[in-house]
Amino acid sequence: ASQLRPEEQALFDVYLRMLGDDAMPGEVGNRIKEGFWAQGALKQVVQQYVRHFEMMDDHYLQERAVDIRDLGRRLLSHLQEGEQKDTVYPENTVLVSEELTPAMLGEVPKGQLVGLVSVKGSSNSHVAILARAMGVPTVMGLVDIPVNQLDGKDLIVDGFEGQIFASPSTDLRNFYQEICDEEDELIKGLEALRDLPCETTDNHRVSLLVNTGLMTDVVRSLSHGAEGIGLYRTEVPFMIKDRFPSEQEQREYYREQLEAFAPNPVTMRTLDIGGDKALTYFPIQEENPFLGWRGIRVTLDHPEIFLVQVRAMLKASEGLNNLQIMLPMISNISEVEESLHLIYRVYHEVREEGYNIHMPKVGVMVEIPAAVYQIRELADRVDFLSVGSNDLTQYLLAVDRNNPRVAQLYHSYHPAVLQALVRVAQDAHAVGKPVGICGELAGDPGGALLLMAMGYDSLSMNAASLPKVKSVIRSVSREWSAQLLEDVLLLDSPHVIKSCVDLALRNAGFGRYLRPGKTGAIAHAERALS
């Protein structure tokens, strides 16, 4: 509890509700009264719950089935009253399981959990959300690992590359220890940059913001020198509930974020569900969810959700006035106009209720190719634009980034992606509107240099990437990055572009910022260029 904010702890409320008298235990009791033995009654009830959720084909409902199975095992263990086995956790514990559950994390003594490995699950599971909040390296969905044979073995968990190494050799251990030591030294060295502006050697200024959805990120973000929030994912408070959060609950979540970063801007994206983000209590079943009912399409079809959320945001901003609202998945002008109509309506209603608030800036996310070709029309109606580079890349390349079969085709440095990003920045500035970007590319030091050269006014990333990006930008001129951009726009292979950017970084003295495993690609680029 000391490591998690209330919104993350809310995941455990689900367990408590399931253990209430009117839930699982009540049903088990009824079966016992009907004549079943206790263990058999428990098994029947648990299997009934599990089947009910697994039949729904929804990822998050399946995650709930995992929780129920875990509760069933724990209840059975107490019913059996077998020999109690006290697990002794080593000082550095890597938790490995066929199926990790949130309750398992709580069993490891504080400060001893250093890594998580699970055969099942994904980056969207409850455990993954908690792991990110706690800053624990995690590898999910690692199929075909012999879980039972790893007990007691030394493990290396590489969260960057999604790999584990059992019983590592001395050489491999030393290799990863060097990486850990370098990271520690790098972080210490970058702390001095926290309060310095992010500007190039020829005085070009760029705002560095963070992407967040959890209060646990706030301290880390502020300590790394974030100038505000470029993307607050409002769906996180919705995902950790088993019902839609009330206006008051949402208002409390939003107020915490707005207060923490005041007077700097906090850009809140309206509810973005659908695709790979679903709510257990609002299931959306579609054959092709990424091209289906998601983002602004859902909330405009259900304006009651949108209106409550905007009311909560506006009330939370009273006296701070650092709120910005961002609309996701915009594909045409009418969606913007309808959204603005609802926002203005709520603004006037809230002011009439006596709240002293200012009209927030409203922007749109550019993440659908159609929006790339309507930048000027969109910019005429809103205050700012922000590119969601992850989804834009996915839609431009027709690649589901969560599908391992085609994952190698998803590449942020694809020439088509870079050309689209150049066009967006040029068209936005042509009509005098600021444009930012939030996505993996912004947090990559090489990608950040290219985006700065394109003219992006702000870069939003996860907090851990921010010090490295600031260090790189402060050490180069905009002219140098513009030349690099000009060079790579002539290339036609994403892998060659990436290698050339990495080579440029290395030649500029930033080889230490490249993730492990990149050295081979750079050597290949050097051979190709020579």
The secondary structure of 63-91, three-state, reads HHHHHHHHHHHHHHHHHHCCCCCCCCCCC
Task: Write down the pLDDT at residue 1.
Answer: 63
What is the mean predicted confidence (pLDDT) over 252-270?
A: 95
pLDDT band, residue 61 (cuts 50/70/90): low
When mean pLDDT is compared across 136-145, 334-343, 384-393, the lowest value belongs to 136-145
Return d(Cα 96, Cα 116) in angstroms, integer: 6
pLDDT category, 285, cuts 50, 70, 90? confident
Which one of 53, 80, 107 terminates a domain?
80
pLDDT, tens only, 150-189 = 888 999 998 877 889 999 999 999 988 888 887 777 777 7
Give the CA radius of gyration of the chain.
25
Band of residue 62 on the pLDDT scale cut at 50, 70, 90: low
Q: Indicate whether 242 and 390 sit together in one domain.
A: yes
Identify whether 438 is a catalytic site residue: yes
Residue range of the domain that includes 236: 204-491
Return the HEC string of 421-483: HHHHHHHHHHCCCCEEEECHHHHCHHHHHHHHHHCCCEEEECHHHHHHHHHHHHCCCHHHHHH
Residue 89 CB: number of other CB atoms within 10 A? Answer: 12
Give me the CATH number covering residue 102.
3.50.30.10
351 and 237 in a common domain: yes
Asked, for residue 194, whether it belongs to a domain, the answer is no
Give a yes or no: residue 243 inside a domain.
Answer: yes
Residue with the bigger pLDDT between 136 and 362: it is: 362
Query: How does DSSP assign 136-192, residue by residue?
Result: --EE---TT--GGG-TT--EEEETTTTEEEES--HHHHHHHHHHHHHHHHHHHHHGG
The residue whose two tokens read 């440095």 is 413
Q: Which residue has the tokens 């724990």?
A: 74
Mean pLDDT of the chain: 86
Is it the case that residue 415 has pLDDT exceeding 90? yes
CATH number for the domain spanning 456: value is 3.20.20.60
Residues 6+ away with beta carbon under 8 Å from 315 = 247, 251, 350, 355, 357
361 and 296: one domain?
Answer: yes
Predicted pLDDT at 129: 63
Q: Percent of the chain, pLDDT > 70? A: 87
Strand pairing report for 435-438 and 155-158: unpaired
| Residue 109 DSSP label | P
| Same-domain status, 336 and 469 | yes
- Amino acid in position 516: P
Q: Which residue out of 126, 204, 224, 411 is catalytically annotated?
A: 126
Quick: pLDDT tens for 430-488. 999 999 999 889 999 999 999 999 999 999 998 878 888 999 999 999 999 999 999 99
Q: Residue 520: what pLDDT?
A: 36
213: pLDDT strictly greater than 70: yes
In the chain, % of residues over pLDDT 90: 50
- Tell me 408's DSSP state: G
Contact 183, 159 (CB under 8 A): no
Taking 60 as the threshold, does the pLDDT of residue 312 lie above it?
A: yes
Does some domain include residue 429? yes
| Residue 144 buriedness (CB in 10 A; 0-12 / 13-18 / 19+) | exposed
- Whole-angstrom Cα distance, residue 397 to residue 400? 9
Residue 513 within a domain: no
Is the pLDDT reported for residue 220 higher than 60? yes
Domain final residue, candidates 80, 113, 144 = 80
* Residue 530, pLDDT score: 33
487 is a domain residue: yes
Of 56, 80, 104, the domain-final residue: 80
Q: Tell whether 76 and 100 lie within a shared domain.
A: no
CA distance 136 to 8: 15
CB 350 within 8 A of CB 343: no
Measure the CA–CA gap between 72 and 37, rounded to whole angstroms. Answer: 15
CA distance 260 to 256: 6
DSSP E strands: which ranges in 88-146?
Answer: 93-97, 113-118, 138-139
Quick one: tokens of 250?
């949402």
Helix axes 24-33, 59-80, angle to 10 degrees: 50
From the candidates 198, 414, 438, 500, which is the catalytic residue? Answer: 438
Within this chain, do residues 343 and 365 fall inside the same structural domain, yes or no? yes
Same domain for 346 and 220, yes or no, is yes
Q: Is the pLDDT of residue 271 over 70?
A: yes
Q: Return the exposure string of 388-419: e unless at least 16 CB atoms fall within 10 Å of the residue's CB, then b.
A: bbbbbbbbbbebbbbeeeeeeebbbbbbebbe
List Cβ neighbours of 6 (8 Å cut-off, separation of 6 or more).
none
Q: Is 126 tagged catalytic?
A: yes
Position 524 confidence tier, pLDDT thresholds 50, 70, 90: very low
Inter-residue long-range contacts of 37-42, CB under 8 Å, 24+ positions, other chains counted: 38/79, 39/76, 39/79, 39/80, 42/72, 42/75, 42/76, 42/79
pLDDT value, residue 18 = 76
Residues 396 and 254 in one domain: yes
247 and 392 part of one domain: yes
The answer to whether residue 291 scores a pLDDT higher than 80 is: yes
Q: What is the CB neighbour count within 10 angstroms for residue 101?
A: 22
392 near 375, Cβ under 8 Å?
no
CA 139, CA 124: separation in Å to the nearest integer?
12
Q: What confidence category does residue 14 fall into, taking pLDDT thresholds of 50, 70 and 90?
A: low
pLDDT digits (tens, 9 = 90+) for 223-237: 788 999 999 999 877
CA-CA-CA-CA dihedral for 406, 407, 411, 416, to nearest 10: 20
* DSSP calls for 367-386: -SHHHHTTHHHHHTTSSEEE
pLDDT at 131 over 50: yes
Whose CA is closest to 321, among 355, 353, 359?
359
Are residues 103 and 44 located together in one domain of the fold?
no
| Number of domains, the chain | 3
pLDDT at 528 over 50: no
Q: Quick one: pLDDT at residue 389?
A: 94
Question: Which of these, 13, 78, 84, 15, lies nearest to 42 by C-alpha position?
Answer: 78
**Residue 23 main-chain phi, psi, to 5 deg:** -110, -130
* Residue 132 shares a structural domain with residue 257: no
Residue at 72 is within a domain: yes
Whether the pLDDT of residue 90 is over 50: the answer is yes
CA 498 – CA 109 distance, rounded (Å): 42
- Note whether residue 442 is domain-resident: yes
Whether 76 shows a pLDDT value over 70: the answer reads yes
Asked if residue 263 has a cis previous peptide bond (ω within 30° of 0), the answer is: yes
- Does residue 359 sit in the same domain as residue 459? yes
17 lies in some domain: yes
